[in-house]
């Protein structure tokens, strides 16, 4: 007990040195362990999300981009496909298709254009408000609502694609009608809208004054028996309201409207096998992937990188421990006079060793406690940390 008391007094008196040693030891221990916790959590999250998504249909390009965008709403937008892919799937009558258009953002959160079936498929429940019913209405993931402090009745503007592209995509003021319960999945970080709303954001659909009622001739380019062609000066609505919703309409062939992916829910295993076989042809424009297989491949790469990281951590840890030993040895040299004094006062060599060991023990215990506390925090926030650091 005296050894611990004296060691504690020494460490308290030399606060800076002691804190530096504690910080070094804590970092050496906590870094690889935190990485382990985060990688385990990322594996769990990635796999569970992938395992709960039977098949994904998308453009025949990077399967990883497709999966990361469709499942985790990654910023990297895959090659676009069209609604025709959904029509074809429906015609096969083997699966239920859930269209996804995940290309736009609202204040750094992804806008996910989909259908109401998506919420049933993911088991997402409303915490407040109601489901989206008409164009321009959105439902927010729990983290989005919390982060932006939004509630039903508030509005959210979609972000312009680029500020300098005057002919580009303009912001749409969307109305928040519901907030989702926290699901601890990427859905918490998403803004959900009907897929048609995302097409309005893209400019494929719009609303404006009734051109047949226009009296201002400067707004008319051409008037004929076939119809009226308005000039670009014509005011277009950037918000969908009860008063102007009827003026909203879409141009072009609906089958050609874009999507980023289609979640495919096969009726049964046989349907799944048939579907996968039909999209195997290399000449086809579309591919059907098994998200679990794609993520599994990604994880294999992550764990190869982790092995390299582990080796680096071991090397850095060894170097730091050697540096700590050097610091300790130098500190012993500086304390020669003190050690000689306690020898003259009657301290045996064994007691001297106990005193020094007690200092190391206390530093180790404090570093260990800090390490446990930090790991507890990392573990508690691992779900959010993984989504923030790795997945998004």
Q: Which residues bind other proteins (CB under 8 A)?
A: 2, 5-6, 9-10, 12-14, 337-338, 341-348, 351, 355
* Structure token pair of residue 234: 């014509």
Cβ proximity to other proteins: between 148 and 342 the closer is: 342
Q: How far is the CB of 368 from other proteins (least distance, A)?
A: 23
Cβ proximity to other proteins: between 17 and 44 the closer is: 17
* Structure token pair of residue 168: 């580009």
Distance CA 346, CA 7 (A): 17
Distance CA 240, CA 208 (A): 10
Cβ proximity to other proteins: between 7 and 98 the closer is: 7
Q: How far is the CB of 324 from other proteins (least distance, A)?
A: 20
CB 368 within 8 A of CB 27: no
Q: How far is the CB of 353 from other proteins (least distance, A)?
A: 12
Cβ proximity to other proteins: between 18 and 82 the closer is: 18
What sign does the CA torsion over 347, 352, 355, 358 have?
negative
Q: How far is the CB of 15 from other proteins (least distance, A)?
A: 11
Nearest partner of 189 among 49, 294, 54, judged by Cα: 49
Is residue 215 exposed (0-12), middle (13-18) or buried (19+ Cβ within 10 Å)?
exposed
Q: Which residue has the tokens 């959590």?
A: 41
Q: How many CB atoms lie within 10 A of CB 237?
A: 19
Pairing mode, strands 261-266 and 55-59: antiparallel
* Structure token pair of residue 61: 């390009």
Cβ proximity to other proteins: between 282 and 334 the closer is: 334
Is residue 73 exposed (0-12), middle (13-18) or buried (19+ Cβ within 10 Å)?
buried
Q: How far is the CB of 328 from other proteins (least distance, A)?
A: 16
Cβ proximity to other proteins: between 4 and 302 the closer is: 4
Q: How far is the CB of 360 from other proteins (least distance, A)?
A: 16
Q: How far is the CB of 348 from other proteins (least distance, A)?
A: 6
Cβ proximity to other proteins: between 223 and 335 the closer is: 335
């Amino acid at each position: 007990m005296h050894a611990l008391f004296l060691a504690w007094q020494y460490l308290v008196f030399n606060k800076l040195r002691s804190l530096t040693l504690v910080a070094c030891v804590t970092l050496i221990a906590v870094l690889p362990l935190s990485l382990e916790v985060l990688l385990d959590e990322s594996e769990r999250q990635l796999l569970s999300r992938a395992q709960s998504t039977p098949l994904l249909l998308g453009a025949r390009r990077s399967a990883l981009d497709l999966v990361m965008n469709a499942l985790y709403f990654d910023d990297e937008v895959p090659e676009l496909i069209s609604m025709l892919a959904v029509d074809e799937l429906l015609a096969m009558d083997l699966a239920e298709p859930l269209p996804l258009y995940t290309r736009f953002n609202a204040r750094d959160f992804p806008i996910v254009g989909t259908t109401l079936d998506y919420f049933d498929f993911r088991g997402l429940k409303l915490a407040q408000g109601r489901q989206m019913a008409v164009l321009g209405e959105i439902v927010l993931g729990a983290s989005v609502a919390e982060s932006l402090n939004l509630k039903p009745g508030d509005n959210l503007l979609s972000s312009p694609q680029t500020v300098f592209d005057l002919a580009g995509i303009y912001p749409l003021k969307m109305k928040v009608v519901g907030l989702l319960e926290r699901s601890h999945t990427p859905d918490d970080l998403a803004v959900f809208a009907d897929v048609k709303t995302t097409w309005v954001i893209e400019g494929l659909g719009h609303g404006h004054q009734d051109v047949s009622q226009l009296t201002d001739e400067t707004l008319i380019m051409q008037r004929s028996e076939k119809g009226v062609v308005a000039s670009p000066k014509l005011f277009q609505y950037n918000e969908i309201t009860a008063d102007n919703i009827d003026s909203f309409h879409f141009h072009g062939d609906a089958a050609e409207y874009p999507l980023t992916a289609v979640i495919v829910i096969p009726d049964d295993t046989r349907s799944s096998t048939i579907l996968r076989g039909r999209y195997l042809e290399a000449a086809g424009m579309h591919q059907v992937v098994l998200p679990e297989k794609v993520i599994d491949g990604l994880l294999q790469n992550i764990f190869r990188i982790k092995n390299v990281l582990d080796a680096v951590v071991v090397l850095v840890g060894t170097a730091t421990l050697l540096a700590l030993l050097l610091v300790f040895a130098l500190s012993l040299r500086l304390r020669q006079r003190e050690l000689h004094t306690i020898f003259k006062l009657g301290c045996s060599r064994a007691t001297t060793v106990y005193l020094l060991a007690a200092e190391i023990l206390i530093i180790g215990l404090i570093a260990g406690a800090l390490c446990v506390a930090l790991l507890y925090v990392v573990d508690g926030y691992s779900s959010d940390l993984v989504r923030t650091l790795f997945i998004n």
